[in-house]
Amino acid sequence: MIRDERATRADDGEPLYDTEMSLMQNGGSVSITIPSMSRKMHSFAAGEEATVEIYPDGIWIHNGGGDE
């Protein structure tokens, strides 16, 4: 569902913003900081939930909360 939504929003596959971020060790996982430009554009706030979907070609973070 989210992948279909992403395909309808994409402007010929080019990102609006591109930056490199460092992955940080977090127990058995790694974590990454969401850039401030992304946080402002998508209204992410500390403490909120986000859905993370994992695909062979990448990771999608949806700001609609954990109930989707």
Q: What is the pLDDT of residues 9-52, one digit of tens each?
A: 655 667 777 888 899 999 999 999 888 888 888 888 888 888 88
| 3 has a pLDDT exceeding 80 | no
| Model confidence, pTM | 0.58
pLDDT of residue 42: 85
Please work out, in degrees rounded to the nearest 5, the angle formed at the alpha carbon of residue 2 by the alpha carbons of 67 and 56.
115
Buried b (16+ CB within 10 A) or exposed e, 6-27: eeeeeeeeeeeeeeeeeeeeee
